Amino acid sequence: MSAKLIDGKQTARESNARVAAAVAGLKASHGIVPGLTVVLVGEDPASKVYVASKEREAKAAGMNSTAHRLPATATQDEVLALVRRLNADASVHGILVQLPLPRQVDAQAVIEALDPDKDVDGFHTINTGRLWGQGGGLVPCTPQGSMLLLRQAVERPAGAHAVVVGRSMIVGKPVAALLLAADCTVTVAHSKSRDLPGICRGADILIAAVGRPEMIRGGWVKPGAVVIDVGINRTAEGKLVGDVAFAEAAQVAGAITPVPGGVGPMTIACLLRNTVIAACRQHGKPVPAL
């Protein structure tokens, strides 16, 4: 392996320490305690684990942290009523509705019902518009975390050719907007793109967010490129692997994120950052350095 390893666990720990210091400062100076509320509908096992981690980490950072658990049979009106109640609750600065939602609940309608200034996932159309426009909204967590890791390897990405493989609302599209805002030349490729290996080989920065285990091979990586692997896939043997064939790609890349221990830990770290940002804005206070 010749690539530098980009350590997501360490980067997340450092970010969490800055968040905890900011929370302590807000309490001491203004009596503000940032509050994060997570909504879980149903019994999806992976979602339960994620929600428990989000609750625990928000508490560890000194925030008010609550979770609302609704049964899998909850109606859309019940979920919307809860969202409206949380929108109106001044002690709640950030609301996250865990996805996926049960089929009887229209996820997009729930997201659009959120107060955009409390939408710490950054999925509301207003925040999407801000992301592609002048900025100033809440930025989706996994893309934000990917950019923080990218900055560990490349101080100035301006002018670099960034290739994003994947076009989801949660990762592909928002990370493309962030790369563009960082003055990269951005290509968004996807499952229907022709000559995907050739497109990837042109990338100085390669962001893999397709959700297919080890699809991106070492031969697709330009020598010296920075590879950010957003994929988390479980193999038949129960092993966690990314969207990139790590052992092969690490021979060629200049820097690469591992799976696990890369982008994964950054998602909750960025959720906590967004909650502090949301709390500061709601109270008209300057956002401390995070």
Name the residues that contact ligand GUN, by CB under 6 A. Answer: 96-99, 121, 141-142, 170
Instruction: Report the alpha-carbon distance of residue 209 to residue 171 in Å, rounded.
Output: 7
Q: Which amino acid is at 94?
A: G
Least distance (Å) between residue 99 CB and ligand GUN: 4
The token duo for 197 is 């290996």
Least distance (Å) between residue 25 CB and ligand GUN: 27
Catalytic residue among 117, 119, 121, 229: 121
The beta-carbon contacts of 85-92 under 8 Å, at least 24 apart in sequence, are 86/37, 86/39, 86/118, 87/113, 87/114, 87/115, 87/118, 90/282, 91/33, 91/35, 91/64, 92/35, 92/36, 92/37, 92/66, 92/118
Least distance (Å) between residue 142 CB and ligand GUN: 6
Instruction: Report the alpha-carbon distance of residue 230 to residue 239 in Å, rounded.
Output: 16
Q: What is the largest CA-CA distance in the chain?
A: 56
Which residues is 96 bridged to in the sheet?
38
Least distance (Å) between residue 177 CB and ligand GUN: 16
121 is catalytic: yes
Contact 182, 155 (CB under 8 A): no
Residue whose C-beta lies closest to ligand GUN: 99
Give the residue with the Cβ less far from ligand GUN, 92 or 141.
141
4 is catalytic: no
Least distance (Å) between residue 149 CB and ligand GUN: 16
Give the residue with the Cβ less far from ligand GUN, 258 or 264.
264
Say whether 192 sits in a helix, a strand or coil: coil
Instruction: Report the alpha-carbon distance of residue 256 to residue 8 in Å, rounded.
Output: 10
Give the residue with the Cβ less far from ligand GUN, 101 or 196.
101
Least distance (Å) between residue 123 CB and ligand GUN: 7
Give the residue with the Cβ less far from ligand GUN, 87 or 187.
87
Instruction: Report the alpha-carbon distance of residue 192 to residue 205 in Å, rounded.
Output: 20
- Provide the phi-psi class of 31: left if phi over 0, else alpha when psi is between -120 and 50, else beta: left
- Which stretch of DSSP H or E encloses residue 14? helix 8-30
Give the residue with the Cβ less far from ligand GUN, 144 or 257.
144
10 is catalytic: no
Give the residue with the Cβ less far from ligand GUN, 96 or 245.
96
Catalytic residues: 54, 98, 121
